[in-house]
Every structure is written in C-alpha cells, then in structure tokens.
Amino acid sequence: MNIRSKLYFSTFFFVAFFISATPFTSAYTIEKLSVEARNDFVLEPGKVEVFLEPGETVVRNIYVTSRVQKRTKFVIQTEDFIGSQKEDNAIVLLGDIKSPYSFKDALLPEVREFSLDFGQKITIPIKIKIPQNAQPGGFYSSVIISNAPEKDANIATGGARVISRLGALFFIRIKGDAREEGKLDDIRIAGPSKLFYQKGPFDFQLLFSNTGSVHLVPYGKVIITNFTGSVLATIPVDGYFALPNSLRYREVTWYSDFLLGRYKATAEISRGYKNGIDVVDTKSIAFWVIPWKFILMVFVSIFAIVSVFFYIRKNFEFKKKK
C-alpha cells in the first residue's frame, strides 16, 4: 500500500470513527396531523417548570401545530416576564427589556425560524443551560412563537397585518437556599360589595401575595358553612403559580341551589413552599343571602289565598244537607 493509499485509508477511518462516535440529533421533527381549520396555531405546553443545579444542561420540547390553511412561516423569540399587581393580568411580558429574574439568554431553541403546512406539527427542542456560577433562586423567561405573514397588496392599501403570538412560560429554579415568602392576603366575593345577595352562584377571589425571590405554588380549599356551622360545600383550589414580588388572584366558584340566611366562606391555602414546610393561611368572609323577590312572591301568594278564603267565607253561606 503506497503512501497516498495509506493517507486516504487513515482519513476515511478517522471520519467513520468520528461519525459513529458522535450521536446524531435532529434539530426538530415534523409530523402530519388531522386537525380542523381554524386559521390559527397551537403551542404546547403553556408552562415548563424545571429544577436544576448550577452548570447543569437539560432539553425540554415545545410543540407547534398549524391550523392555517396555507404554508405559514413562524419566528421564535425569547422574552422575560414578571408578575403583575393587577387581578386581571397574572404576568407581564417585557419584550427586549431584561427583568431581575432574566434567563432568556440561556434558553436556546434549536431553530429560530420554521414553516409549517396546514395540519403539520413541529417538535422543537429548547436547551436550558445553567451557568456554572448561577446563584440559587428563580428565573423566569418565555419562548414566544409568532407567525410572520407574507406581505400582500392589502398592506399597501392600508390593510392590517395580523400577527399572532403565543408563549411557553419557563420557570427555572436553581437549587439552593432561596427566599420563600408569601401569604394569603384576602378572600372576597367578586363584583361590587353588597349588603345581601339574592342568589348564587358566588365567585370567590383569593388574593395571594408573594414577597420572596422565587415563585410559589399555593393550593388548598374553600369551605362553605351555614349559620349553624354545618359544612355545605368544600371547593378545591388547585395549585397555581405566584411570581416573586407580585399579587396573584385566583377565583373559585360555588354553585348553589336555593339559599336563605347567613353563610361563611373560609379559605385554607397552603403557601406552596418547596422546602418541606407546610404553612397554611386562613381567611374568611361572611355574607347574607335574602331572595327578596321569591319571599315577596310567597307573601303575595299567601295574602291572595287568605284574601280569597275570607271573601268566600263572608259572601257565601255554607249549609249542611239534612
């Protein structure tokens, strides 16, 4: 074997060994599904929660399904989000602004752009890379998927260009000591305050305040009792997230039949600490239910029956047959 042949053989052997020793991973996969046409797209999951060590790297998948009846181009971005102080807005996306809990630079999608035909579903790996010097605590960023519609004649004539955005929220908790602080602040009935109510259903709002440095997952129940203390209903409150330095409202509904009298709703909410300490907060609200329209109708009916009875008794004489 001459020198050139030996060189070719060595090169081939090295390349073959390198390929066999290096695991092949596809950036994404696409499959065809049977879906209904709704001129939109679906992103799953809406929330990803991971607990990691400094220096650790993991991969989590997100899935996008197109229900648009034409080939559509999509763009992937990362944005930070924070909690809100408003009851109707749990989170606030920050766009290009970095939050104190920013992690968007360490969320690494395998692709930044892709296109899907109607009914196609793409699986996109998201690499989560924790820096070696990362401090313990919570970090909160999102992966935003938006469609990028092609330019058309409607734009030139003043037509609107619709862009839809959906986000997968990433809750990153780096293991170690962190400040877990929060409590149930209040329970109230949604809507204007009333002296009494006519009927249900009743929407109870639970106000939870997170004053710590990591998100919490409070959960518990709301117990409904009547004036004698008897339990009428126990409504479960499933776990929900409360971001650092924010207020989080959770609403549960009590569907009831006919009610009359004084009732009390008592919320028993665990703060959802991850350190094994189960702290439960209790708040109560009392309320009256007086269905005055129904009561008025009953009184009117009774009055009408009594009036008819006395009218008949006064104007008609009843005699026994001999």
pLDDT per position as a tens digit, 233-243: 999 999 999 99
pLDDT value for 123: 97
* Chain segment 269-319, per-residue pLDDT in tens: 999 887 667 899 999 999 999 874 655 566 666 766 776 666 666 676 656
Q: Answer yes or no: do 165 and 194 share one domain.
A: no
Last residue of a domain, one of 150, 174, 198: 174
The tokens for 20 are 């066999």
Contact in structure between 41 and 66 (CB atoms under 8 Å) = yes
Q: What angle do CA 53, 77, 47 make, to 5 degrees?
A: 55
Domain for residue 207, yes or no?
Answer: yes
Last residue of a domain, one of 174, 205, 223: 174
Q: Answer yes or no: do 168 and 64 share one domain.
A: yes
pLDDT value for 28: 85
Q: Answer yes or no: do 30 and 169 share one domain.
A: yes
| Domains contained in the chain, number | 2
**In this structure, what DSSP letter does residue 136 have?**
S
Stated pTM of the model: 0.74
pLDDT value for 239: 92
Last residue of a domain, one of 152, 174, 196: 174
| Distance between CA atoms of residues 101 and 140, nearest Å | 6
Q: What angle do CA 292, 294, 297 make, to 5 degrees?
A: 105
* Residue ranges, the chain, pLDDT below 50: 3, 6-25, 153, 157, 292
Q: Answer yes or no: do 164 and 214 share one domain.
A: no
| Distance between CA atoms of residues 309 and 196, nearest Å | 35
pLDDT value for 23: 42
Contact in structure between 254 and 268 (CB atoms under 8 Å) = no
The tokens for 146 are 């938006």
Contact in structure between 220 and 269 (CB atoms under 8 Å) = yes
Contact in structure between 250 and 237 (CB atoms under 8 Å) = yes
Q: Answer yes or no: do 49 and 160 share one domain.
A: yes
CATH assignment at residue 196: 2.60.40.10
Q: Answer yes or no: do 133 and 187 share one domain.
A: no
pLDDT value for 321: 59
Residue ranges making up the domain that contains 252: 182-294
Q: Answer yes or no: do 163 and 194 share one domain.
A: no
